[in-house]
Amino acid sequence: MQTKFLLAESDIPRQWYNILPDLPWPPPPPIHPATHEPVGPEALAPIFPMALIQQEVSTDRYIDIPEEVLDIYRLWRPSPLQRAHRLERALDTPAHIYYKWEGVSPAGSHKPNTAVAQAYYNKQEGVRCLTTETGAGQWGSALAMGCAFFGLELKVYMVKVSYQQKPYRRILMETWGAKVVPSPSRDTQAGRNVLAQDPDSPGALGVAISEAVEDAVGREDTKYSLGSVLNHVLLHQTVVGQEAMQQMEMAGEYPDVIIGCVGGGSNYAGLALPFMKDKLAGRSKSRFIAVEPESCPSITRGEYVYDFGDIAEQTPLLKMHTLGHTFIPPGIHAGGLRYHGMAPIISQLCHEGVMEAKAYHQTKAFAAAIQFAQTEGIVSAPETSHAIRCAIDEALAAREAGEKRVILFNHSGHGLLDLAAYEAFLAGKLEDYAYPAEKVREAMTHVPKV
């Protein structure tokens, strides 16, 4: 029985897939917070290079991947698609469980798929330095690697509490040559303002974004880079799903259920959108399940409205599922899923009913991750554990129903730098956080009326 479905290097997709022209509903445009008019590309020019802004609004179905980016993808792509035979046997299920294994990248997750592309386009347009923020550190380390490949400087504003608790992630970024500062820092006005009010502030992703954007806008040769949410980021991740489609064909099956965890939405979109093309064209009836944490459930509990992407209200308004841009989620271990909003593309697909969402508490996710580690070997990122939980539950439901079900999920990354969370779980010290209904209600009052 075959376990791994491996493509040749020549099978790496040579184009990214852009779902915008295939959506049956016009995507609501980003709008200006004051005028409520659609914003043009020029509004984003101070922070992003023009090539990425054009991809953000492109209506071309396929966009060529530059040879220089492919050259780097080849370091770890194509990634394997694996059939989880051993997990299936442990679950005694008739379901077939497949996972796309993105942890083979040197940074250990799917994030380099866009980090490398973003570094490339910035380099092409003469940018010398990038800034970004990072919470858990997955994105910061992927971009550090991307910048190393193209000789770009990188300054990462790392949420101070992570900076202190996750020294390995910081060292990883420094090994690839990035400069990492704890946020709030004294390097920006935004940081200094926070420190003036609270010198011991532990920081927050929203503050770190404000610092990174301010830093980029204030320097001629510097731009800002974002690791999820936006259309061009999802676009770059579609190499994942395009490879998976070829590999499912090798396996002779088509997924009935397609699963992924969602924070900003990019890893799941990467896997799901190429399959969604089939569903939108009436060629499949697959179910699509986006899995989020119970403590930050933007799709299952949030509203589909225009909101800011950041706490400091620096971005245009995006139509998306949101818990309110001032909402600060509880400190769950899946740092990559702690975002108040959701990618507009994923939000719209959920809103239109072609995609569903489900939320889990973190202890249930970790229990699934332990079972996965002991059957399939891989120790998973806390974020990915949410997808594994859902895949296992689908397989158990198939057993109950006595039906074969082909399940595909995106295994977005390993958890080797997240072992402190495993220790807490194994020691029975991991808490679940109830859905913070009151805090969300309060945050939603700050969402602008459009």
Binding interface with a second copy (CB under 8 A): 2-4, 6, 8-9, 71-72, 74-76, 82, 85-86, 104-108, 112, 145, 148-149, 167-168, 171-172, 174-177, 370, 373-379, 414, 416-417, 419-420, 422-423, 426
CB within 8 Å of 369: residues ≥ 6 apart: 379, 380, 382, 384, 385, 388, 415, 422
Closest approach of Cβ 7 to a second copy, in Å?
8
Q: Which is nearer to a second copy, 12 or 261 (CB)?
A: 12
Closest approach of Cβ 145 to a second copy, in Å?
6
Give residue 110's Cα distance to chain centre: 8
Which uninterrupted H or E stretch holds 319?
strand 317-322
Q: Which is nearer to a second copy, 112 or 302 (CB)?
A: 112
Place of tokens 């980016």: 69
> Tokens for 157?
């504003």
Q: Which of 366, 236, 359 is nearest to 289 (CA)?
A: 359
Q: How far apart are CA 5 and CA 55, in angstroms?
A: 31
Q: How far apart are CA 206 and CA 425, in angstroms?
A: 28
Q: Which is nearer to a second copy, 101 or 327 (CB)?
A: 101
Q: How far apart are CA 439 and CA 393, in angstroms?
A: 30
- Structure letter (DSSP) for residue 449: P
- Structure letter (DSSP) for residue 354: S
Q: Which is nearer to a second copy, 196 or 419 (CB)?
A: 419
CB 248 within 8 A of CB 255: yes
Which uninterrupted H or E stretch holds 83?
strand 81-83
Q: Which of 181, 169, 249, 171 is nearest to 212 (CA)?
A: 181
Q: Which is nearer to a second copy, 137 or 293 (CB)?
A: 137
Closest approach of Cβ 14 to a second copy, in Å?
15
Closest approach of Cβ 288 to a second copy, in Å?
27
Closest approach of Cβ 152 to a second copy, in Å?
12
Closest approach of Cβ 52 to a second copy, in Å?
22
Q: How far apart are CA 23 and CA 18, in angstroms?
A: 10
> Tokens for 183?
């946020």
Closest approach of Cβ 59 to a second copy, in Å?
33
> Tokens for 217?
């806008």
Closest approach of Cβ 176 to a second copy, in Å?
6
Q: Which of 64, 391, 74, 80 is nearest to 246 (CA)?
A: 80
Closest approach of Cβ 364 to a second copy, in Å?
17
Q: Which is nearer to a second copy, 11 or 278 (CB)?
A: 11
* DSSP line for 202-255: ---HHHHHHHHHHHHHTSTTEEE---SSSHHHHHHHHHHHHHHHHHHHHHT---
Q: Which is nearer to a second copy, 122 or 347 (CB)?
A: 122
CB 295 within 8 A of CB 436: yes
Q: Which is nearer to a second copy, 53 or 368 (CB)?
A: 368
Strands 62-64 and 15-17: antiparallel
Q: Check whether the bond before 94 is cis (ω within 30° of 0).
A: no
Q: Which is nearer to a second copy, 171 or 401 (CB)?
A: 171
Closest approach of Cβ 170 to a second copy, in Å?
8
CB within 8 Å of 40: residues ≥ 6 apart: none
Q: Which is nearer to a second copy, 62 or 76 (CB)?
A: 76
Return phi, psi of residue 28, to 5°: -60, 130
Closest approach of Cβ 373 to a second copy, in Å?
5
Return phi, psi of residue 42, to 5°: -60, -25
Q: Which is nearer to a second copy, 22 or 71 (CB)?
A: 71
CB 122 within 8 A of CB 152: yes
